[in-house]
Chains A and B, each alone.
Chain A
Amino acid sequence: MEVPREKLKLRDDPKVISPPLLDPLWACGTAVVVRGFIAEATLDVEVDGAIVVAATPGGFPNPNGALIPLPSPLLAGQVVRARQTSGGATSDWSAPRTAVDHTAEYPAGPPRPQINPAPVYQCGRRTGVGNLLVGSDVWIEADAVEVGRVKGAASQQGVNVSPSYGLGQKVIAWTSLCKDVGPPSATQISQAGPSPMPTPGWLPVYAGGQQATITNVVNGATLTVSRNGVVQFSFPSWGYQHTINLSPPFSTGETLSATQVLCKGDTPSNPGDTTVLPCSALPAPGVDAIQQGATSVVLTSFVSGAQIKVFVNGVKRGDGSGPVIALTSPVAAGDTVHVWQILGTCESQWVQELTVQCVAPPVGADPSARDLFPVGTTTYDGGTTTVPSSHSHKIAGTVYYPADADGPGTPFNTRLAALGRVPIAVLVHGRHGGSTSHLGYDYLQQQLAQMGIIAASVDCNESDQWGGWADNILDRADLVINTIAHLQKLDAGGDPIFGGRIDFDHLAMMGHSRGGDAVVTVPEVITLAGVTIRGVIALGPVNSGASSGKPSGYAFMTILPASDGDVVDNNGAEFYDGADPSPFKSQLYVDHANHNFFNREWLNDDTGGGLPLMARADHERILSTYGCAFFRSVLLGHATLGYLQGTVRPPAVLTGDVHLSYKKAKQATVDDHEDGNGIAKNSFGAPTTPSGGLTADEHEWSQSGATRFNDSFFGATIGMVAKHGGKPGMFRSEFDKARDLRRLQVWIRAGEVYDMASVPAGATGFKLGLEDNAGVVAWVDSDGVGGVPRPLDRKAYDLGNGYPDRTKTMGNTLRFPIKCFKPPKEQKFDAAHVVAVWLRLDRRDKRALAFDDLQLVR
């Protein structure tokens, strides 16, 4: 919330400035990137306790930080820190970064550079290259001739090109670190530029600032900037946006203008103009939610070059620049944070105010963006087979794999192959008709292959025409197994691409719709030797009864589109509930997602426009990011489970629509309601006690269960439904013994119960308490840990189709860190001796809540 600054009593201590931030460091790197400092600060860089760069001008921290050359290349294990000096104050040293041998993180060599933005144009003079290791060298070749090079690059580096590109040249970026040359970038063929050239635009420019950002820039174009009608300079840009620095600072009403041109002699674009806005227009920065324990604040919007000051409960804790400002000490849940931006002499009249939440997961790196290898593609043909329903079907599909070069049939990546066999993901489409459904996950196959996972997509299209239900699922499962068997033959038979390459001991599957049922069935029927299934993703699956419905022996994830217009019952919820949580199980219930838009070949909206949807690209981002996080965890052993647990959010994903349930093995379960001992005892065998007018009982969370609370439950488990009559209602669940929770979290699956009538406005919630052995109860509100998920209202849509209302009660897993529990004033809570957990239903709306899987989690 933006609030006027003048009403706040913010104590701006000039001695408090933030330590800057360092990008990751690599052995042999000849530069470091420092970010988050105040504009025009001087920077010191320390290596292994010795200052090797002193008081170097940092310039402007945005948009790319300061790239600071080092006097000598870094060695593995060296520890680097940086600090800033501004306005007479010197910050603390940054958190230390250790230089790492890049082969520890990237055993097959440096990641593949990306020409970004692409494409490149004839006469282009500068190209952006991304996905680089900081301090590496980067160079560009046009038709195999080097045309530009930077030594000691940033992670996104501009490379000036001379001579400029001709038409139709093959442009490739390369990188090396420690004389280790990475794979080539994807080839870009230089194109004729747009004609006419588009007019540049500007982001808002405010008085007092010295930076301005030009938008709508053509890749490689030469920009000419004028200020108040006077040409300032011309320069090449890598494109998209370009931030320039001008002096003296801007004044209200000044005009800035830019034109762009690619080839000399061509007609430049029309000028794009802007007028400098007054200081009074400078807004507060946008700030992402802050979680207790955070040591930095992340901005979602800010003005380039602005100084950002952060106050916690009125006291200054940070002073730096966006997008990440380090704090001098961690924040606590309930703290009030104010964030203020200043441009030179212009101090915004507004500050952003927010309250630190107990749980507000930060945005992490993109788990789908690990781009290491070129991608080869091929199809396979294993002949025909007779499937269980006695039909004949071809064994066919597509495979994407890490390769030495992009394209059909290119050789398997030599360096990756030298490290050992490579894991495989097998994808299975559903029943849609047509002949191309297996091509619809090409984006996921590409992402998996470029990070080092072979990705096959099985062609089951013919089987769409046969009818069948469980029979058809068995047929699809059989086609999957036949595909694996065929790939085993290629692997064992010296196939030029796959011979000796595939690690069938690390195999995972993703199935969509009927394919989702099939991939749950495969592990129960497969008899192939040498195959170990590590994980299964069921995306919008049906549940035909072909399997036991109880996935076990592997990690399981299901993605359930809440606006599914085909599999309206979200049957994957039954799989999640039935799954063994060893090593883990995960469920994503996604509001505003339909059935089809995860598959690029399925063009129709299965809701027929009947429900509001997120864009197709947003569907794909969900499958890409969460799917890659899953596959990386189960096949590559990467630490990406946080995305599924909800401790970190993937970027550029509508995470507000994604409701996560997660359960892992070997945790202490207070109550999962599966013990058959009634509501009066929990899974510890200890008593439970309702009070304050609360009513609670155990109910089947299913469509057919005799004890279901109502028809809004679609899973296959038993949970609790509680409601209160007006006064706060309490539910106490005793432990079997006093337990030390200091290093644990309390997890509970919770959801707002749909009453089968309407979805009321506004969210509801509850409080969760812990009672110590002295009788002190400390509480956390569900609103502070992400809130209770709401039913997605689809009643009118379902009834309009002539079928019952499928609006669902669907829980997600709320995590309550122990540090967030607050005892009453002047009481002390002993987390080392906890004897009971409490639920307090205290909302005036009196809505019923559903609970399950109350656990104490490491």
Chain B
Amino acid sequence: MGTDSDLTQADRPDRRDLWTLPALKGVRSVRVRYRTPRRHFVGGKPVEVDEGVELQIQTDGAIPIRALSPALFVGGTEVAENVTVDETSHRFFVADEQALSDGAEIRLGWVGQPPLNDGAAADAGGFHYKTPTEVIDEPGR
């Protein structure tokens, strides 16, 4: 009698790639007037704003769900606060727009973990920050 070594039907643990991010397909910077003041946390203290800059992004796939948040790195500035619109659409809220420079490269990474500047990231070389000229009212949820 032979020994069965087939694993094709085995219950394998769920394997997830936590680190691979989808590529950025589009980035739109807009100034948004909020229907209710939006709250940012600066050093653990809430700061409420009536309007602010948002970076609204499109990706070519879903961002993995994990403890760390995705973040946009605009040059050397991290923009972490965000909300998921749908699987490939996300709004990132800029807490300090003065820290963003026109022309700064925009890359998608993980909060606290800026992508290495090696050009290998899926979103490398595509999008640059431009101070928004457009002002919109926050859409209804």
Contact = CB atoms under 8 A, between A and B. Distances in A.
Interface of A: 388-390, 430-433, 464-472, 474, 513-514, 524, 540, 542, 544-549, 565-569, 571, 595, 603-606, 608, 703, 801-804
A567 B67 CA distance: 7
A468 B41 contact: no
Given A388-B39, A567-B68, A604 B13 contact: yes
Contacts of A703: 112
Contacts, number: 103
A466 B85 CA distance: 8
Contacts of B112: 569, 571, 703
Contact of A566 (B36, B67, B80): B67
Contact of B13 (A474, A547, A568, A605): A605
B66 A431 contact: yes
11 contacts: A390-B141, A464-B65, A469-B111, A470-B40, A470-B81, A514-B67, A524-B44, A548-B44, A603-B14, A605-B13, A804-B113
A565 B70 CA distance: 15
A454 to B, nearest CB: 27
- Interface residues of A: mostly helix, strand, loop or mixed? loop
Interface stretch (B1-9, B16-24, B25-33, B128-136): B16-24
Interface string B85-126: 000001000000000000000000001110110101100000
B81 A471 contact: yes
A566 B18 contact: yes
A464 B64 CA distance: 11
Given A467-B90, A803-B19, A431 B67 contact: yes
- Interface residues of B: mostly helix, strand, loop or mixed? loop
A28 B125 CA distance: 81
Contacts of A474: 39
Given A431-B65, A547-B44, A801-B19, A467 B84 contact: yes
A466 B14 contact: no
Contact of B115 (A464, A565, A567, A802): A802
Interface of B: 13-19, 36, 39-45, 65-71, 80-84, 90, 111-113, 115-116, 118, 120-121, 141
Nearest to A547: B44
Given A466-B84, A566-B66, A390 B19 contact: no
Given A604-B14, A802-B120, A467 B69 contact: yes
Nearest to B70: A467
A608 B17 contact: yes
B66 A469 contact: no
A225 to B, nearest CB: 34
Nearest to A520: B44
A748 B83 CA distance: 44
Nearest to A468: B83
Contacts of A470: 40-41, 80-81
Nearest to B35: A390
Contacts of B66: 431-432, 566, 606
4 closest Cβ pairs, A-B complex: A467-B84, A548-B44, A433-B65, A469-B69
A465 B45 CA distance: 25
B43 A545 contact: yes
A464 B115 CA distance: 23
B108 to A, nearest CB: 13
Contacts of A545: 41-44
A471 B83 contact: yes
A504 B23 CA distance: 48
Contacts of B16: 604, 606, 608
Contacts of A471: 39, 81, 83
A569 B80 CA distance: 16
Contact of A606 (B18, B41, B69, B83): B18
